[in-house]
Amino acid sequence: MRHRPIPGSSGTVRAMTLLGEKVLHAPCEPVTEFGPELARLVEDLFATMYAAEGVGLAANQIGEGVRVFVYDCPDDEDVRHLGHVVNPRLVEADGPAVRGPEGCLSLPGLEAGTPRFDHAVVEGFTATGEPVTVSGTGFFARCLQHECDHLDGLVYTDRLTGWRKAKAQRDARRAPWGRTS
């Protein structure tokens, strides 16, 4: 899926944090200051996500240990969802648990069947401090849960068990970027 940048976005594409880097595996700190620095971070997250052709990106994936993520993600009906959440809290994750293919920009080239709930609701704030609630189903619900996990210091492979987990760990060790936790 090709993504288009936000009109007027002037963000900077930043280096991606990879599996095994400390900031990716630690819970992120809440944002306490809303202002130009936070707005710039959101723009950088969008620019980096689009450059990597992703559908979501958390701040710790570009080395910033704060609770912010962006998304430009379709749901199962191909409705586009575009936005960002500061200090997100996953307040609902329910419905059938569906095992579906999941990848991550911090584990480039890898994918595994990962269980996620079919419905998710996230509450938080915009970069200007306004309250926001984001609700999604299907693929978009998967995206919301995935990005919230990042901010809690988890990657999707932490949700795997058995042979799927063993295969993902082996594939990560063999990947050109070759870091594992």
Residue 162 contacts residue 127 (beta carbons within 8 Å): no
Q: Which one of the listed residues 43, 64, 102, 147 is annotated catalytic?
A: 147
Residue 169 contacts residue 180 (beta carbons within 8 Å): yes
Q: Any known ligand binding at 119?
A: no
With vertex at residue 67, the alpha carbon angle to CA 113 and CA 120, rounded to the nearest 5 degrees, is: 45
Cβ contacts of residue 94 below 8 Å, gap of 6+?
Answer: 117, 118, 119
Q: Any known ligand binding at 150?
A: yes
Stretch (H or E) spanning 168: helix 162-174
Q: How many helices (H) and strands (E) does the chain have?
A: 3, 5
Q: Any known ligand binding at 104?
A: yes
Give yes or no: 147 in active site. Answer: yes
Supply the residues annotated as catalytic: 147
Annotated binding site: 104, 146, 150
Annotated binding site for Fe cation: 104, 146, 150
